[in-house]
Chains A and B, each alone.
Chain A
């Protein structure tokens, strides 16, 4: 067992990363040793990244112990760069996290200064003077490159700066120069935010934390009202909304809600979140309340304004799409389905149940493009209800190839009175391969008048094992 992380006090008494645990105990017998939990560490870091969302939506993870925040254009909202950094670090300290931070014009410089320097805010033109005294590992170099640099005596970044670039690149590879340029801000380095950046967002910071669902809903309606203006200016409506609730103790809840059509009406958005809140009721622990409530539009689409006639009576009767949104928000996207037809001969492929929001979406697409929709090609009799997958039955027939005289399904016996068939449906070899057996379907009626759809998979004598019989559906 080796030490993977240690605190400042342990560093002071001379312990280092990579020391064996027994060795460390020999140095300091009263050492407190905990097993490393990388998964929990990762969860904590992601939780902190969520927490940092209050400063900027562009938060990226840096390895397993750091965060990048892109605060371009955000600093003035928090009282300037110096005040923002101090506020962030002191809030983190209050949460029990010891952190160091730096604000500069490039991610590389901030990384170097926060890991190896004093931290703080660095002016754009002071980059070289700040970097020069720092050791070369501050350039985020691979371990062997840093060791190679140390062996030739280039210990500080200041030693590298006056050297000619071409020999450096030849000897240490292009990465060294890239990192150097990135730290100096000569080379652009984008950070990749861990969450999608919202199209629009509105937030409300509360002096007094709220915890009741009614307050949250009222606030979300208020925020939706302020988003409406932005959406109208863009000529768009939101398809996917997310409500962020920042709890006082640093936990952040994200509640997503999708709509069936581009939407910007605050009341509809509020209704949507009312269902979502009812659905996630147990998962949302308000604790001491939420201090920031933010509503973001993640996906927006062009909003088609339709003039409604007086005679439509659309005033107070809620429409199908509103109903669909409500159900989907409460029970999930797979709870409300629409039947869609497909061009296939195999019964189970000829129809599909698709989530209703996809269906409403595709209907609008068809309306726009004018492409014809798929219609059922089959005019044969098909059952009303289909078993997926087909259930095996035991049959008894006079002649093997003939329709069965009786069959046993779910432990009861059915004597067949009348039969229609067979209807042979060949397998779709372009999907299933050529060895898939064909099916012979029979419509049968038993003595009580129940009508079933049976099929035999395979043909007698063509295959090593006997064909099997299945029940595939109920007729009316």
Chain B
């Protein structure tokens, strides 16, 4: 009986060590965290807006500071990933009340996935006058700008767009940015364009994929069939405090600046391919023939040789 207890203690000690490294509250360690807490200003306890959709992804709403990674596997899905990131930035801007958003993007990433477009951002709920674009040439310059921007109180959120998995942005660099973001009290959204899953110090890593948009509502409460209304995203936590790794479909309402969790799944899309369902009772399509040979005979001849005693 002593072995499990010993193992348990070791496990707890290891957990504590990990928590110390991560400066975060692990399970069952919330009482001790103050000793190891990075000397950061506490998030203002003003009542957060009703982001009922985000509870499925973040444990306690959108974090006020720190590094959140959003990635997708392909450049053609960048519309959804950009949309989700900008929605988080807009939410953060609303929570902070004031403040600008800085979007740092490599020149290469901008030419691959398009430039930010002011009228579209305005419709999306983000004030283009309070968005600034930094266009460094290399990923290293982008990291430098991000680090410099995290100390500026004028920015409520900083978006760092990186294409792929550059070698200069590894675990050490992400840890450094995470600490800076915590110390500066700024939310850093890392938007990884067409990148692989990679270990990092981010609070959480989300994979964002497109989902069919909601239909436009009509005044009588119904919806207009075949129309493209509020955008929706399929958000799958890849690294998260919440162990739920099932994707959630979130719908963004640009007018209210709120997320809404929708129950629609990609399969219910009218044009989506219906999965091949197996019926319960498998009946043959054609009835079996009777009084007939049930099929061609086996090839070759079987010769019965008489056994000689």
Contacts and interface: CB of A to CB of B under 8 A. Distances in A.
Contact of B132 (A336, A376, A384, A448): A336
A317 interface: yes
Interface string B107-143: 0000001111111111110001101111111000100
A331 interface: yes
Nearest to B122: A376
A345 to B, nearest CB: 11
A383 B269 contact: no
A422 B154 CA distance: 41
A337 interface: yes
Given A334-B135, A337-B135, A323 B119 contact: no
Contacts of B237: none
B302 interface: no
A347 interface: yes
Contacts of A386: 114-117, 120
B117 A451 contact: no
A409 B80 CA distance: 17
B119 A378 contact: yes
A107 interface: no
Interface in B44-87: 76-80, 82-84, 86-87
Contact of A320 (B100, B128, B228): B100
Contacts of A387: 114-115
Interface stretch (A38-46, A141-149, A348-356): A348-356
Interface stretch (A183-191, A255-263, A468-476): A468-476
A452 B121 CA distance: 15
A313 B152 CA distance: 13
A382 interface: yes
Nearest to B226: A418
A417 interface: yes
Contacts of B144: 330
A449 interface: yes
A394 to B, nearest CB: 16
Contacts of B209: 448-449
Contacts of A320: 100, 152, 154-155
A323 B232 CA distance: 35
A418 B266 CA distance: 14
Contact of B120 (A317, A323, A384): A384
Given A320-B152, A420-B228, A447-B271, A339 B116 contact: yes
Contacts of B269: 417, 447, 449
B119 A412 contact: no
B5 interface: no
A475 B210 CA distance: 10
Contact of B118 (A341, A420, A476): A341
A395 B187 CA distance: 41
Contacts of A385: 78-79, 82, 113-117, 120
Interface residues of A, number: 54
A451 B231 contact: yes
A130 B154 CA distance: 69
Nearest to A448: B210
Contacts of B188: none
B172 interface: no
A330 B141 CA distance: 10
A337 B132 contact: yes
A330 B231 CA distance: 38
Contacts of B113: 385, 474
Interface in B147-205: 148-149, 151-155
Nearest to B75: A410
A326 interface: yes
A376 B141 contact: no
B122 to A, nearest CB: 5
A324 to B, nearest CB: 8
A417 B152 contact: no
B117 A383 contact: yes
A447 to B, nearest CB: 6
A388 interface: yes
A338 B100 CA distance: 11
Contacts of B228: 381, 418, 420, 443, 445, 451, 475
Interface residues of B, number: 61
A327 B78 CA distance: 27
A318 interface: yes
B123 A412 contact: no
Nearest to B145: A327
B272 interface: yes
B117, B227, B233, B269 pick with most chain A CB within 10 angstroms = B117
B135 A474 contact: no
B252 interface: yes
B272 A326 contact: no
B24 interface: no
B153 to A, nearest CB: 4
B77, B145, B234 pick with most chain A CB within 10 angstroms = B145
Contacts of B80: 449-450, 476
B206 to A, nearest CB: 15
A377 to B, nearest CB: 9
Contacts of A347: 117, 119
A335 B135 contact: yes
A336 B146 CA distance: 12
A452 B76 CA distance: 10
Contacts of A443: 228
B230 to A, nearest CB: 9
A418 B121 CA distance: 23
B78, B114, B120, B132 pick with most chain A CB within 10 angstroms = B120
Interface in A343-371: 347, 350-351, 353, 356
A341 B119 contact: yes
Contact of B154 (A319, A336, A449): A319
Contact of B232 (A331, A339, A376, A449): A449
B270 interface: yes
Contacts of B145: 327, 331
A353 B114 contact: no
Interface in B262-294: 266, 269-273
A339 B114 contact: no
A302 to B, nearest CB: 24
A473 B120 contact: yes
A320, A339, A386 pick with most chain B CB within 10 angstroms = A339
22 contacts: A318-B152, A336-B132, A337-B134, A339-B118, A350-B118, A376-B118, A378-B119, A381-B228, A382-B122, A383-B79, A384-B124, A385-B79, A385-B82, A385-B115, A415-B271, A418-B213, A418-B271, A420-B227, A443-B228, A445-B212, A451-B231, A474-B79
Given A384-B79, A384-B120, A445-B228, 13 more contacts: A331-B136, A337-B132, A339-B133, A341-B118, A382-B119, A383-B114, A385-B79, A418-B227, A447-B271, A449-B212, A473-B120, A476-B87, A476-B233
Pairs A-B, 9 closest by C-beta atoms: A476-B83, A474-B79, A385-B114, A417-B271, A351-B118, A449-B210, A382-B120, A476-B231, A386-B117
